[in-house]
Amino acid sequence: MNDGTDIEIAQGDDDFIRFQAVKKSYPGGVDVIANLDLSVRKGEFMTLLGPSGSGKSTLLMMLAGFEKPTAGTIVVGGRDFTHMPPNKRNIGVVFQDYALFPHMTVAENVGYALRARRVPRDQQVEKVNAALSLVRLEGYGHRRPSELSGGQRQRVALARALVFDPDLVLMDEPLSALDRQLRDHMQIELKRLHEKLGLTVLFVTHDQAEALTMSDRVVVLNDGAIEQVGKPEDVYHRSGSFFVATFIGETNVIEATLDEIAEGKGSVRLPNGVRLTCQVSGGMVPGQGVKLLVRPEHVCVEARQSSTETGHFDTLPGRVEERIFYGDHLRLTIATSGGGSLVAKIEQHATDQKYEIGADVGIRFLPDYVRAYPLEEGAT
Amino acid sequence: MSFLSPGRTVRPGDSGLQTLIAVGTVRMFAKNAHIALPLMPALLFVVFAFLLPILWFLSQATNGRPVVSVIPATAEAIAGWDGVGLPQDDVFEALVRDLTQAEPADVASLARELNFRQAGNRRLILQAARELEADLGGEARARLEAINGAWASPEIWRVIRQSARTFTTYNILESLDLEAGPDGGVSVKPVDDRLFLGVYARTLTISLTVTVICVLLGYPLAYAVANAPARTAAILMLLVLLPFWTSLLVRTLAWMVIFQRQGILNGVLIEAGLMSEGLQFLRTRFAVIVSMTHIMLPFVVLPLISVMKKIPPNYMNAAESLGAGRIRALVSVYLPLTLPGLSAGVVLVMTLSLGFYVTPMLLGGGGDQMISNLVATFVNRSLNWGLAAALGLWLIVFAMAFIAVVGGTLSSKKWAVS
């Protein structure tokens, strides 16, 4: 019934892939994906980011056809994919463990999709060689996967997924098995291929740094639902929820009470009486408890003469407890007078303050970078 | 010599080299004592309870001493005869001397051994020994020919020449229906005289049939067990293993009960209205193959399950995402990855089937007896250990050849699914 022809949806490049009210639940279990809507643009590098169990891999497996949604539809390029068998979808998949066929050579692995599509023999050879040179593995065709390094296997898996000019490439944590240096290298390599070939890529990862560096847009998933979809900058600087803010990057959390809201800015009071200005989201009312989130690089530290000196009303007094020197920056853990502690990341030059352990400091925040979230949301 | 090679030369056989090897062996043993010592009891048991008896038994195939020890002079003399016409006088004289000097019990054993080669030889030898004792003189050739005209024809002498060797190939050839001509050339016996080739062919046919059926039944079964949910897999596994916990004899007897003329199978067929009277299942090839397949099935299923369980589901997903249909993915990816397990199972079923004895004896007819049944007959009934050993030897050779071919082509693949 669902052979794609009866779906009449006007689709532009803006929703090349469309998940509509997709739901996935296993018998006797909870919902892995609950009523999810998502659109992916053509040529976009979209990352699905979330902790394990957030449903990001399930979403990918449903798109590849290895899992069937319990409800909802998946449309790609105007064709209904919901019940289409995986071999008809023309999607390249790179698996976490690469799933290279151990009994075939590299060339046979890469050419598998061409043989399945009955591409003429001479074209097969040509395309396999082109795919191998694309991932910089010319001359490795006769080797077996077992004779390759982790990074080389990764690239063979990539070549195998690209050789048949798929409409879409799915990658399920493809870099997680590589060591850090190789991972950084492959990230650049993947970006290069994405731009060169104009691929539409759906990339699954639990590594937030990877998501930020590689993606055009990031989808943050938690418990089978979308928390936020946006550019890496948006997700990082303007996190849509407490979960997103704490999951992506490092964040200081300070509890406070909202006093008043004026011109989109909130005024909050810390338990020790210090007042701060912050960004507030809609639906907040004066008097409610909030959590303030500040990234370590947005914490400003200034020297104080003694612990008794009172600074400005918006300055939080504290004392350096821990100090780690990273070369380009200094990382301080500062105990505040309120009893909590904050992490600050400050640029470091040879002539700058040293902030030795035990030094008394004052902490200030730039109002634009302090965001308030309702207290109960982060309670769990 | 020594001035040409001033250094110390070590040649094989040199006491120096031997000492070196001996010291090396002792050192190796000492170094690996924590492995070698615990191994000793099992090793000794295998050597004395298994290896040596089998080697001794197999050596009987070429052992001519039972003949040579009774007629040593004849054995020596007849070696010089070229097998054409009749032997020279000295051979006749030697035989007469040997027969008159031998103990009656030894003569009887000689008569039995030579009778294996050709029926009627027992009477010939016993008669000659008896009558030579009574009659005391004259020329040897004339005396023997007078006792029985058979001594004047070359057949009996050829048999003696062939048998009276410490190392005889007679049984080895005989067990393949081959015969050595007077000139020493080997040829296949005339069709009517062939005894064993047909039984070998039957043994191989039955074993191959059982192996093929086991694979056809076992492969999907193993696939189901390996991919079923844990609880279902455990139940299926129990059903697969159940035959292992019952003795082979009991299972074969159970099949007898099922296959009897008034047995369960016929009862069901008649009850279902498919037949009016029972069919003959017992003493048929069908019964032998069904029962052997039932016994052998776990041997192909178990190695397959262990291999299949190690194949990540991602391989099939990958193949399908690359555009292969379910069947193509199974044949081009799944099947090759299970070959090591399949070859292990095939080799097990085939080699074990080659040696089947109880099942064909109890469930099969005269035309379903396998090589092992013949070996048993020769050992138990006619006491022809030499021929029995030769038949066993060929069985071992067949099994080893099969292992070499199947194991060599299928299981030596370089990949391994980790």
Interval A249-289: pLDDT, tens: 889 998 888 988 888 788 888 887 788 888 887 778 888 88
Q: Are residues A291 and A206 in the same domain?
A: no
Tell me how many domains chain B contains: 3
* pLDDT at position A380: 39
Please count the CA atoms within 13 angstroms of the CA of B154 that sit on its side-chain side: 13
Tell me how many domains chain A contains: 2
Size of interface A-B (CB pairs under 8 A): 70
Give the pLDDT band (50/70/90) at residue A86: very high
| Residues of chain B contacting A112 with CB distance shorter than 8 Å | 319, 322, 324, 332
Q: Are residues A171 and A84 in the same domain?
A: yes
B178 lies in a domain? Answer: no
Q: Are residues A120 and A239 in the same domain?
A: yes
As a three-state string, the secondary structure of chain B is CCCCCCCCCCCCCCHHHHHHHHHHHHHHHHHCHHHHHHHHHHHHHHHHHHHHHHHHHHHHHHECHHHHCCCHHHHHHHCCCCCCCCCCHHHHHHHHHHHHHCCHHHHHHHHHHHHHHCCCHHHHHHHHHHHHHHCCCCCHHHHHHHHCHHHHCHHHHHHHHHHCCCECCHHHHHCCCEEECCCCCEEECCHHHCCCHHHHHHHHHHHHHHHHHHHHHHHHHHHHHHHCCHHHHHHHHHHHHHHHHCCHHHHHHHHHHHHCCCCHHHHHHHHCCCCCCCCCCCCCHHHHHHHHHHHHHHHHHHHHHHHHHCCCCHHHHHHHHCCCCHHHHHHHHHHHHHHHHHHHHHHHHHHHHHCCCHHHHHHCCHHHCCHHHHHHHHHHCCCCHHHHHHHHHHHHHHHHHHHHHHHHHHHCCCCCCC
* pLDDT at position A133: 93
Q: Are residues A141 and A217 in the same domain?
A: yes
Q: Are residues A219 and A256 in the same domain?
A: no
Last residue of a domain, one of B143, B166, B189: B166
Residue type at B285? R
By DSSP bridging, strand A341-347 and strand A289-294 are unpaired
Q: Are residues B148 and B258 in the same domain?
A: no
Q: Are residues A190 and A66 in the same domain?
A: yes
Q: Rounded to the nearest 5°, which phi and psi values hold at A331? A: -115, 120
A97 lies in a domain? Answer: yes
A258 lies in a domain? Answer: yes
- Domain span at residue B368 reads 197-411
How far is the C-alpha of B160 from the C-alpha of B163, rounded, in Å? Answer: 5
How far is the C-alpha of B143 from the C-alpha of B141, rounded, in Å? Answer: 6
Whose CA is closest to B410, among B311, B304, B338? B338
Last residue of a domain, one of B43, B62, B81: B62
* pLDDT at position B4: 41
Q: Are residues A228 and A260 in the same domain?
A: no
Q: How is residue A276 annotated by DSSP?
A: E
Q: Are residues A258 and A238 in the same domain?
A: no
What would the two tokens of residue A123 be?
């074209």
State the Cα torsion B365-B370-B375-B380 to the nearest 10°.
-20
> Is residue B15 predicted with pLDDT exceeding 80?
no
Residues in B whose CB is inside 8 Å of some CB of A read 312, 314-315, 317-325, 328-329, 332-333, 336-337, 413-417
Q: Are residues A258 and A164 in the same domain?
A: no
Whose CA is closest to B103, among B70, B140, B63? B70
B161 lies in a domain? Answer: yes
Interval B113-147: pLDDT, tens: 899 888 899 999 999 998 888 866 788 888 888 88
CATH number at residue A199: 3.40.50.300
Q: Are residues B275 and B370 in the same domain?
A: yes
* pLDDT at position A6: 40
Q: Are residues B379 and B266 in the same domain?
A: yes
B181 lies in a domain? Answer: no
Q: How is residue A297 annotated by DSSP?
A: G
> Is residue B276 predicted with pLDDT exceeding 90?
no
- Please indicate whether, in this complex, the C-beta atoms of A87 and B324 are within 8 angstroms of each other: yes
Q: B53, exposed or middle or buried, with CB in 10 Å at 0-12, 13-18, 19+?
A: exposed
Q: Are residues B311 and B384 in the same domain?
A: yes
Q: Are residues B256 and B402 in the same domain?
A: yes
- Report yes or no: A103 at the B interface, CB cutoff 8 Å: yes
Q: Are residues B396 and B303 in the same domain?
A: yes
Q: Are residues A277 and A346 in the same domain?
A: yes
Say if CB A334 and CB A344 are below 8 A apart: yes
Which runs of E-coded beta strand occur in chain A?
A: 17-25, 31-40, 45-49, 71-76, 79-80, 91-94, 168-172, 201-205, 217-222, 225-230, 252-262, 265-269, 275-279, 289-294, 299-303, 316-325, 329-336, 341-347, 360-365, 371-374
- Please indicate whether, in this complex, the C-beta atoms of B321 and A89 are within 8 angstroms of each other: yes
Q: Are residues B259 and B399 in the same domain?
A: yes
% of chain A surpassing 70 pLDDT: 92
Mean pLDDT of chain B: 87
Interval B234-266: pLDDT, tens: 999 998 888 788 888 999 999 999 998 888 898
- Please indicate whether, in this complex, the C-beta atoms of B321 and A86 are within 8 angstroms of each other: yes
B273 lies in a domain? Answer: yes
Mean pLDDT of chain A: 87
How far is the C-alpha of A200 from the C-alpha of A91, rounded, in Å? Answer: 10
CATH number at residue B235: 1.10.3720.10
A229 lies in a domain? Answer: yes
Interval B286-314: pLDDT, tens: 999 999 999 999 999 999 999 999 999 89
- Domain span at residue A108 reads 13-243
Does ipTM surpass 0.90 in this model?
A: no
Residue A257, strand partner residues: A269, A289
* pLDDT at position A63: 95
Q: Are residues A211 and A339 in the same domain?
A: no
How far is the C-alpha of B402 from the C-alpha of B232, rounded, in Å? Answer: 35
Cβ-proximal residues to A375 (8 Å cutoff; 6+ apart), any chain: A255, A288, A289, A290, A291
- Report yes or no: A93 at the B interface, CB cutoff 8 Å: yes
| Residues of chain B contacting A103 with CB distance shorter than 8 Å | 336-337, 413, 415
A181 lies in a domain? Answer: yes
Q: How many of the other CB atoms lie within 10 Å of CB of B411?
A: 16
* pLDDT at position B209: 97
Q: Are residues A195 and A315 in the same domain?
A: no
- Report yes or no: A97 at the B interface, CB cutoff 8 Å: yes
Q: Exposure pattern of A330-355 as b/e (b: 16+ CB <10 Å)?
A: bbbbbebbbebebbbbbebeeeeeeb
| Residues of chain A contacting B314 with CB distance shorter than 8 Å | 95, 97, 99
How far is the C-alpha of B358 from the C-alpha of B248, rounded, in Å? Answer: 8
Mutate to test the interface with B, among A84, A112, A114, A143 (most CBs of B within 10 A): A112
Which runs of E-coded beta strand occur in A197-312?
A: 201-205, 217-222, 225-230, 252-262, 265-269, 275-279, 289-294, 299-303
